[in-house]
Amino acid sequence: MRKLSLAAIGMYLSILAAFSQSTKPADTAYKNRTLTFEEANFASSYYSQNGNNSAVTGGIGSEKLADLSNSIELKLHKWDRKSRKHTFDFELGVDHYTSASSDMIDLKANSSASHADTRVYPSASWTVENETKGRSFGLGGSMSFEFDYQSFGGHLDFSQKTKDKSGEFSAKLFTYLDNLKLIYPIELRTTTTTARHEEYATTGRNTFGSSFSYSQIINERLQVAFLLDLISQSGYLGLPFHRVYFTDNSLKVENLPGNRFKLPLGFRANYFLGDNLILRSYYRYYMDDWGLRSHTFNLETVIKLSPFFSATPFYRYYTQSAVNYFAAYQAHKTTDQYYTSNYDLSEFASQMFGMGIRLTPPSGIFGIEHFSMLELRYGHYTKNNGMNSDIVSLNLRFK
């Protein structure tokens, strides 16, 4: 089971208390121009997986991995003289994982430095909304740091509602500029120095993309949305510690093209069967110029057992074709220009099912007025190649 950081929760409650003391009751005639606490969210999850198709050892070997993730989000807002709402969103996330497959970068090590790592990823965004015109504009930035990988991201977004406020168009431009260390398998390194003191070469990976969506209220029961993404990647798109074994038993690290274009298309539909039952459905078709094609089907049912308590069973089915450059262990020919034995790029089908529960009592969770929401979710994931995983997540909201 997952572990919860009491220190993090304590800090979270301290932040909440500091802002809650100065919060005034809502006044429809006057909108506060001072920066005001809106809400804070704490999310924690524990993920574990197992399988026997590790890319680190050429498509065979343990995929056992465990990850503990925690994030804190703080939202503040204010209104300007033109009655536009400004929202400031700050988030800090920390993941820590242990991985049996990463440990096999050095085949002779009983427990190498690569068996575990910690990722820290802060982000901040600003959004200004004109409620009268139904228009908003925002921008933000993010960073992500771990031992062998650094990423810097940014985004611009815009949305506009229709005159009757029943529809909304949204657009987003984003980029991620990544830098990764070239940590090769131990037997393919050209230096004999230890990993602790070794200076690794680095290389870059850039992602530029845009997202577009249009949502529409059809009637009092049905809402739909259409989604489109355009994503272009360039640079080093593989991982230097993914081994590939060829038919003649020779060994190299995976080699993939330096460019990739992705095109996901999606559709959402929410249907309200009544006050106590909501159906949420989602379908996505994905294609890219590496030859991968995939279909995603997701169905979630919100069952309101009371006005303040709901249960949410969900099911997800996913299937994909292999990229043009995938082959299993010792199946690649030495004449192949590009090659990988990463089973994430193979043909497979997967299923995920689980349940969530959500509490939103008007008096607050455990009678704490500002503790407004508690959500607990569990999901079980399986692939038809034998890989499986479980995830438990906890979400808390304070207002």
Residue 132 · residue 83 · CB < 8 Å:
yes
Output the domain CATH number for residue 364.
Answer: 2.40.160.40
Q: Which domain holds residue 27?
A: 6-398
Q: Given this model, what pLDDT does residue 108 score? A: 64
65 occurs within a structural domain: yes
What are the pLDDT digits (tens) for 263-295? 999 999 999 998 899 999 999 999 999 999 999
Other beta carbons less than 10 A from residue 395's beta carbon: 17
Q: Given this model, what pLDDT does residue 179 score? A: 97
Of 17 and 185, the structure prediction assigns the larger pLDDT to 185
274 occurs within a structural domain: yes
Q: Given this model, what pLDDT does residue 312 score? A: 97
Of 77 and 12, the structure prediction assigns the larger pLDDT to 77
1 occurs within a structural domain: no
315 occurs within a structural domain: yes
Q: Given this model, what pLDDT does residue 99 score? A: 84
Domain count, the chain: 1
295 occurs within a structural domain: yes
